[in-house]
């Protein structure tokens, strides 16, 4: 039998239900794994070992795993941008280095209601702004497949923790690919839900019209189980969708015959590594073998998605981060001569270079004389992208692209060139612009590093994505591949 920490969420749930292991044993196995590998990858900002064991003992005492929840007694990690009551929540920033939220985010309440066990908070690019987790104010996270390479970002700590078997699943946030791109680079599954399907209450905002919380897991089946727990209407989130939530695990049928897949040619051209193209094209052949109709299509406006995103997201970021002024909470400089000097010095000291860059970009795009030329035009392009996707989904159930144009790149390789770093998310941004769901599923390797295939669908098409992703996953052995660390 493999070590406890090597198992999937679903497999561990079965162990608990059959009394073959206790939650305390499972939690301790993960803590031992963290002790073994964490110094090599730096996936956590905070490890909550004592709390986790306390929660595990309570689950064992109450036999909570007999009460219907597939998450009961199972350790997970939460990205450090999600508020956790009484537990440090830093956004990997000096600005919030000593911030202890007085409340839990809705997703945390939901996981706790399902008797989940919190092992800690995941490292990330500061305020979720980055594609490599090198912009953390504390330390970069390393890829478990090759520790000289990045895990992707901004949810790189969460991707690395799941890939390295430190936890069974993680909650990440996705503003422009921040769970799907690192999932691809680390060889795991990540699902970005429809905008509004999962509450953002308690998610520290980067770009409010784009941000979405989603599960990062070892399998598609596990993603469905986590989505079951966290999806649903929340009156505390004004963007929350009030819609019936199905049991997503019912779509894990293993068959995809008759599904229609479109392959946008814009995602298969210049800038995408040959090894990535080969892996995704091979995966498309597998889908055809499952009875799926596969056809090339075009989405001309998506070529502008990255430029559009890097106007809208920084604009929203500059507004959201204005609250960090050294007065109400977070880092504060107390030695300045005036309140204005204190505010300026607080922001100089609290924010890192990438955050400052995006605040300046956003402030410029929103400034008088430039608003119409940049921000307003970007919103119009966003509408075009959404309409184009809507038209495509009239013909296809799912669109397939690479999850990332490259495999994991070297630490420090792109930090000197922000534009090159921004292009790491080129495959992911359209789904955030349109608010549609997308899932990244491992589909092979290039030069010994994982490659992910992205499945995109129309709003509330999570059942179709889970059905197709699971059918593909079951037909291959990529989900069984684990890094040797």
Tokens of 437: 């769901």
Strands in 44-47's sheet, in edge-to-edge order, are: 44-47, 117-122, 75-79, 169-174, 212-217, 189-192, 438-446, 449-456, 398-402, 260-264, 293-297
Tokens of 348: 């100089």
Q: Tell me how far apart the alpha carbons of residues 186 and 218 are, in angstroms, rounded to a whole number.
A: 10
Q: Tell me how far apart the alpha carbons of residues 199 and 240 are, in angstroms, rounded to a whole number.
A: 6
Q: Tell me how far apart the alpha carbons of residues 64 and 62 are, in angstroms, rounded to a whole number.
A: 5
CA dihedral sign, ordered 377, 380, 384, 385: positive
Measured from the Cβ of residue 437, the count of other Cβ atoms closer than 10 Å reads: 27
Global confidence as pTM: 0.97
DSSP 172-200: EEESSSTTHHHHHHHT-EEEEPPTTTB--
pLDDT confidence band for 480 (50 / 70 / 90): confident
Q: Tell me how far apart the alpha carbons of residues 414 and 169 are, in angstroms, rounded to a whole number.
A: 28
pLDDT recorded at residue 108: 98
CB 356 within 8 A of CB 270: no
Residues whose CB is less than 8 angstroms from the CB of residue 391 and which lie 6 or more positions away in sequence, other chains included: none
Could you give the C-alpha distances from 225 to 76, 77, 214, in angstroms and in order?
Answer: 13, 15, 12
pLDDT recorded at residue 479: 83
Could you give the C-alpha distances from 27 to 17, 23, 76, 326, 399, in angstroms and in order?
Answer: 16, 6, 9, 38, 38
Q: Tell me how far apart the alpha carbons of residues 105 and 267 are, in angstroms, rounded to a whole number.
A: 35
Q: Tell me how far apart the alpha carbons of residues 458 and 281 are, in angstroms, rounded to a whole number.
A: 22
The 3-state DSSP class for residue 276 equals helix
Question: Cis omega (within 30 of 0) on the bond before 324?
Answer: no
CB 80 within 8 A of CB 202: no
Tens digits of per-residue pLDDT, 165-204?
A: 999 999 999 999 999 999 999 999 999 999 999 999 999 9
pLDDT at 239 over 90: yes
Q: What does pLDDT average to over the chain?
A: 97
Q: What is the helix (H) or strand (E) element at residue 107, kind and residue range?
A: helix 106-113
pLDDT recorded at residue 106: 98
Q: Which residues are catalytic?
A: 79, 154, 178
pLDDT recorded at residue 460: 98
pLDDT at 1 over 70: no
Q: For the chain, give me the number of helices (H) and strands (E)?
A: 15, 11
Residues whose CB is less than 8 angstroms from the CB of residue 143 and which lie 6 or more positions away in sequence, other chains included: 41, 149, 150, 151, 152, 160, 163, 185, 186, 408, 449
Tens digits of per-residue pLDDT, 271-321?
A: 899 999 999 999 999 999 999 999 999 999 999 999 999 999 999 999 999
Average pLDDT for 114-125: 98
| Residue in this structure with the two tokens 């660390």, named with its chain if needed | 485
CB 269 within 8 A of CB 275: no
Phi, psi of 365 (to 5 degrees): -65, -25
- In the chain, % of residues over pLDDT 70: 100
CB 267 within 8 A of CB 401: yes
CB 100 within 8 A of CB 88: yes
Query: Pairing state of beta strands 117-122 and 75-79?
Result: parallel
CA dihedral 460, 464, 470, 476 (to 10 degrees): -130
- Could you give the angle at the alpha carbon of 106 between the alpha carbons of 439 and 24, nearest 5°? 85
**Class of residue 77 by CB neighbours under 10 A (exposed 0-12, middle 13-18, buried 19+):** buried
DSSP 201-221: TTBPPS-TTT-EEEEEESSHH
Tens digits of per-residue pLDDT, 352-365?
A: 999 999 999 999 99
DSSP 391-410: HHHHH-SEEEEES-SSSPPB
Average pLDDT for 116-141: 98
pLDDT confidence band for 270 (50 / 70 / 90): confident
Q: Which domains does the chain have, with CATH numbers?
A: 4-262+395-480 (3.90.1300.10)
* Chain centre to alpha carbon of residue 210: 12
Q: How many CA atoms lie less than 13 Å away from 171 in the CB half-sphere?
A: 37
Give the residue from 328, 410, 399, 312 showing the smallest Cα distance to 362: 312
Tens digits of per-residue pLDDT, 30-57?
A: 999 999 999 999 999 999 999 999 999 9
The 3-state DSSP class for residue 447 equals coil
pLDDT at 415 over 70: yes
Residue 146 DSSP class:
B
Count of positions (residues) in the chain: 485
């Amino acid at each position: 039998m493999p070590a406890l920490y090597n198992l999937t969420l679903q497999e561990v749930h079965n162990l608990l239900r059959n009394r073959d292991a206790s939650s305390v044993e499972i939690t301790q196995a993960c803590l031992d794994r963290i002790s073994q590998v964490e110094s090599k990858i730096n996936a956590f900002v905070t490890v909550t070992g004592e709390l986790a064991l306390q929660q595990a003992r309570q689950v064992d005492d109450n036999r909570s795993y007999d009460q219907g929840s597939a998450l009961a007694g199972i350790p997970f990690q939460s990205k450090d941008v999600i508020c956790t009551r009484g537990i440090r929540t830093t956004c990997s920033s000096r600005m919030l280095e000593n911030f202890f939220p007085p409340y839990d985010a809705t997703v945390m309440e939901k996981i706790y209601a399902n008797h989940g066990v919190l092992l800690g908070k995941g490292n990330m690019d500061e305020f979720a702004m980055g594609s490599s987790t090198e912009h953390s104010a504390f330390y970069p996270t390393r890829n478990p497949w090759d520790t000289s390479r990045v895990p992707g970002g901004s949810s790189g700590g969460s991707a690395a923790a799941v890939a390295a078997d430190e936890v069974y699943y993680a909650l990440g946030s996705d503003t422009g690919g921040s769970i799907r791109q690192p999932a691809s680079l680390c060889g795991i599954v990540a699902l970005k839900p429809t905008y509004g399907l999962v509450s953002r209450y308690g998610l520290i905002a980067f770009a409010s019209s784009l941000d979405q919380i989603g599960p990062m897991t070892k399998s598609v089946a596990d993603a469905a189980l986590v989505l079951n727990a966290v999806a649903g209407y929340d009156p505390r989130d004004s963007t929350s969708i009030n819609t019936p939530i199905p049991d997503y695990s019912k779509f894990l049928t293993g068959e995809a015959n008759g599904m229609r897949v479109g392959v946008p040619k814009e995602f298969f051209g210049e800038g995408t590594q040959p090894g990535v193209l080969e892996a995704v094209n091979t995966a498309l052949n597998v889908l055809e073998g499952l009875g799926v109709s596969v056809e090339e299509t075009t989405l001309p406006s998506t070529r502008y998605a990255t430029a559009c995103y890097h106007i809208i997201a920084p604009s929203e970021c500059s507004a959201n981060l204005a609250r960090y002024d050294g007065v109400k909470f977070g880092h504060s400089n107390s030695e300045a001569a005036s309140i204005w000097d204190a505010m300026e010095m607080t922001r100089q000291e609290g924010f890192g270079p990438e955050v400052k860059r995006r605040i300046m970009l956003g402030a410029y795009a929103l400034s008088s004389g430039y608003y119409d030329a940049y921000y307003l035009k970007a919103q119009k392009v966003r509408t075009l992208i959404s309409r184009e996707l809507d038209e495509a989904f009239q013909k296809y159930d799912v669109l397939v692209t690479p999850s990332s144009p490259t495999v994991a790149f070297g630490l420090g390789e792109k930090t000197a060139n922000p534009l090159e770093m921004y292009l790491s998310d080129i495959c992911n941004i359209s789904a955030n612009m349109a608010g549609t769901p997308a899932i990244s599923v491992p589909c092979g390797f290039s030069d010994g590093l994982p490659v992910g295939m992205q499945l995109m669908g129309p709003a509330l098409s999570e059942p179709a994505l889970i059905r197709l992703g699971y059918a593909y996953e079951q037909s291959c052995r990529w989900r069984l591949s684990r890094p040797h660390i």
